[in-house]
Copies of this chain bind each other. A is one copy, B any other.
Amino acid sequence: MTRYFENGTGELVPDALAGFARAHQDLVDYDLADGYVTARHPAPTRTVGLLSGGGSGHEPLHAGYVGAGMLDAACPGRVFASPHNRQIFRASRAVAGPDGVLHIVKNYTGDRINFGIAAERLADAGIACGRVLVDDDLASDSEAVAAGRRGTGATVLVEKVLGGAADTGMGLDALVDLGTSVAGRCRTLAVASAAHHAPVTGEPAFELPSGELEYGVGIHGERADHTRSQKQVGVLVEDMTGVLLDALCPGPDDPVVALVNGLGSVTSLELYGIFGELGRVLDARRVRLVRHLVGDYVTALDMRGFSLTLMVADRTVLDFYDAPVHTPEWRW
């Protein structure tokens, strides 16, 4: 109780979920026993339930995106720890449609393991279950990382697109294909100028010398594999965007969607400044920026940093992205 406003270690997540459930009782139900959140008004046209989950501390991900047009259920784990398989299994059973349930999983070992065990149990129970793995983080795109790229900011884009698609009645296999294809066309890079604070100790998860940037940081306070000195934000964004574009190589006619995402305690002033720089860089490179989001979508507790995500879309993907959504934290 030095920095976090909480009732005690370990109470942060359950207390938050209770408050969240009351705040949004018109939109979501909260299963207290098994600790998952479900949508109250899913589209009747859906044949597949959409479920995601992962460690807490990334709010609004995932519970904030449960509702019409997006997720049918979210399974929040403890802070930075994947949900356990029972939670995932029970939530999946609760929201599975006639064509089963789709798991949207960020690529982290813990999430893969727990979603994997839950999938085995679902198969055992005769419930069809598919998986879309999100692995957009460029910083972990290296031979040395056997686990593969991490899943980060792109998760919200994948959830939104799949939500729009599921509302059309699309079946499980088609959703898996679509989601896998969309996830494959997203890349993210994240930087931080200060670490998040560990809830248990109230202390920064790591120390960064003043003027240094953690370049390629993860969303759990995993440090990046290197630091670099802080530059003007225009230069920084230009560098980051260059790396993302090199990985994605959008064609001149490809519509691109951008997410400028705050990791926790970067100010809205900075995020909009960063978006301005991103727009300039994309204009100069003749990239067709057709949609954008600016705000805190996938956080890392109170980390002081931001991530840039680019998604190469097409007409179909954009239609699903534009489809109506009504969740606690995303509405149009």
Contacts and interface: CB of A to CB of B under 8 A. Distances in A.
**Closest 3 pairs (CB-CB, A-B):** A265-B265, A19-B276, A19-B272
Interface residues of A, number: 61
A13 interface: yes
B268 A7 contact: no
B274 A59 contact: no
A142 interface: no
Nearest to A202: B210
Q: Which of A56, A193, A292 has the most CB of B within 10 A?
A: A193
Contacts of A301: 267, 269
A207 interface: no
A12 B270 CA distance: 7
A211 B279 CA distance: 42
A257 to B, nearest CB: 13
Interface of A: 1-8, 11-13, 15-20, 22-23, 56-57, 59-60, 64, 79, 193-194, 202, 210-211, 230-234, 236, 264-277, 279, 292, 294, 296, 299, 301-302, 304, 306, 331-332
Contact of A23 (B6, B202, B272): B272
Contacts of A64: 268
A62 B144 CA distance: 47
Contact of A16 (B79, B193, B272): B272
Contacts of A194: 3
A15 B292 contact: no
18 contacts: A1-B231, A2-B193, A15-B233, A15-B273, A15-B277, A18-B273, A19-B273, A19-B294, A23-B292, A23-B294, A57-B267, A57-B269, A59-B267, A59-B268, A59-B269, A264-B267, A265-B302, A269-B301
